[in-house]
Structure 1
């Protein structure tokens, strides 16, 4: 039994190292950021949202200070994000974003970006904002398992 445990532990390390060696973080960051930006555009569609969600694990956890301080992974995390983000598709009349910098390490990515938006709320009132944010993404099996957003 002890040999089996050692074998399985070694196999896990080898597969984790293979992921780290073969994973194209640069392409992942660029594709993910593009998908995220597409969901915020004035003409964003359900297809744009589904493409963004394709980067996420089914049980993704999302933390977005100050509104969502809990980063717990939920079995239906992706479904919850689909529902929440779906309510806001197309509310922006204007949206611009710029990738400032990104860093990555073993199964983690940080993305610093700035964005600005204008739009209308459901009550007809207008809003406008501009922010710089740092998103920290934890990866598991090539999918985002936890998102943490820090912004001003």
Structure 2
């Protein structure tokens, strides 16, 4: 539950860069679902480079992605 709340918050703050563009609740939910789907897809054993690149494209330029199980933190799109 905390993950979903954090995700929705992340999406809302990421979208603030497009402040002149107002999104409906339905559109925000679609974007959040797309983000969750992309995050889950990149964590699968059969993930592809395209899955990873798509997930990264959804992130802001300055982000922190932590993988707790493997103690890995990523802070760059490189």
Instruction: Sort the TM-score into its range (normalised by shorter chain).
Output: 0.5 to 0.7
Shift of the alpha carbon at 1:64? Answer: 6.0
| Equivalence for 2:6 | none
Give the drift of 1:60: 1.9
- CA drift of 1:52 comes to 0.6
Match of 2:23 in 1: 22
Q: Compute the RMSD of aligned alpha carbons.
A: 2.8
2:38 aligned residue (28, 35, 38): 35
Inter-partner Cα distance in structure 1 for 2:40 and 2:51? 9
With normalisation by structure 1, the TM-score equals: 0.31
- Which structure has more strand as a fraction of its residues? 1
| Alpha-carbon distance in 2 for matches of 1:58, 1:36 | 17
Unaligned runs of 5+ in 2: 1-17
- State the partner residue of 1:47: 50
- Pairing of 1:125-136 with structure 2 (within 5 A): none
Q: How many residues end up aligned between the 2 structures?
A: 57
Partner of 1:148: none
Question: Take 2:65 and 2:45, find their aligned partners in 1: how far apart are those partners?
Answer: 23
Between structure 1 and structure 2, the one with the greater Rg is 1
- Secondary structure of 2:64 counterpart: strand
Counterparts of 1:63 and 1:39, CA distance in 2: 13
Residue in structure 2 matched with residue 78 of structure 1 by the alignment = 77
2: distance between equivalents of 1:62 and 1:43?
Answer: 20
The structure in which a higher percent of residues are helix is: 2
1:1-152 paired onto structure 2 within 5 Å: 16=19, 18-19=20-21, 21-22=22-23, 24-62=27-65, 67=71, 77-79=76-78
